């Protein structure tokens, strides 16, 4: 496997988990800010501004980042095969979420319907929040990918060790039995 040499220390893994939690909390707070911002709109001539990412709650998907970060910290402290597998699965889910959320944000920023003059300031501020969130998706993507590669390396190393130990256990008694057989 290509990921065998990519191992990081438990302390660095904890830092990745903490940063993941911070990003997730930031996304949830930004979603709350957008909720307050868009709920305060006044229905104007052109309607109200409801972007795609707001309707789908993509910033609220930051809860997945928080959960994944918590599992990453727990997996750094208690390295079991099951815990690593769960944490890798959550980080892979975070990778998918960041790709989908970034794609939806790009689509939202590319298409801007004009809104009434009363809601223009709120729409403009909401778009700026979306731009800021768009900048944080590559960071979350990088953290989730780094941990996934590291977890892959750790699991591959453990798998290799378990295969070697089974082979050694099976071969060791066999050679003793064969030498006893030839001596008789």
Q: Nearest to residue 27, comparing CAs of 96, 178, 129?
A: 129
pLDDT score of 60 = 81
| Residue 34: HSE in the Cβ half-sphere, 13 Å Cα cutoff | 28
Return d(Cα 59, Cα 28) in angstroms, integer: 6
Return d(Cα 35, Cα 40) in angstroms, integer: 9
Please check the confidence at residue 140 and state whether its pLDDT lies above 80.
Answer: yes
Q: How far apart are the first and last CA of the chain?
A: 45
User: Regarding predicted confidence, which is higher, 120 or 64?
Assistant: 64
User: Regarding predicted confidence, which is higher, 4 or 127?
Assistant: 127
Mean pLDDT of the chain: 78
Return d(Cα 139, Cα 135) in angstroms, integer: 8
pLDDT in tens, 6-49: 567 888 889 989 999 999 999 999 888 888 877 777 676 566 67
pLDDT score of 55 = 79
**DSSP code, position 5:** T
pTM of the predicted model over 0.85:
no
Please check the confidence at residue 118 and state whether its pLDDT lies above 50.
Answer: yes
pLDDT score of 19 = 94
pLDDT in tens, 144-171: 998 888 888 777 766 555 555 555 555 5
The average pLDDT across 124-141 equals 88
pLDDT score of 152 = 80
* Cβ contact 65:16 at 8 Å: no
CA 123 from chain centre, in angstroms, equals 29
């Amino acid at each position: 496997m290509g990921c065998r040499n990519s191992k990081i220390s438990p302390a660095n893994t904890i830092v990745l988990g903490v940063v993941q939690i911070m990003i997730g909390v930031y996304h949830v707070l930004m979603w709350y800010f957008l909720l307050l911002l868009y709920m305060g709109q006044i229905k104007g001539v052109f309607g109200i501004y409801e972007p795609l990412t707001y309707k789908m709650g993509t910033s609220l998907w930051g809860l997945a980042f928080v959960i994944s970060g918590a599992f990453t910290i727990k997996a750094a402290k208690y390295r079991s095969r099951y815990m690593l597998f769960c944490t890798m699965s959550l980080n892979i889910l975070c990778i998918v979420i960041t790709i989908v959320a970034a794609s939806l944000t790009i689509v939202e920023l590319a298409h801007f319907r004009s809104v009434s003059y009363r809601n223009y300031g709120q729409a403009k501020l909401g778009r700026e929040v979306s731009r800021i969130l768009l900048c944080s998706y590559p960071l979350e993507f990088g953290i989730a990918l780094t941990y996934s590669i590291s977890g892959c390396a750790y699991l591959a190393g453990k798998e290799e060790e378990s295969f070697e130990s089974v082979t050694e256990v099976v071969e060791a008694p066999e050679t003793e039995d064969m030498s006893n057989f030839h001596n008789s």
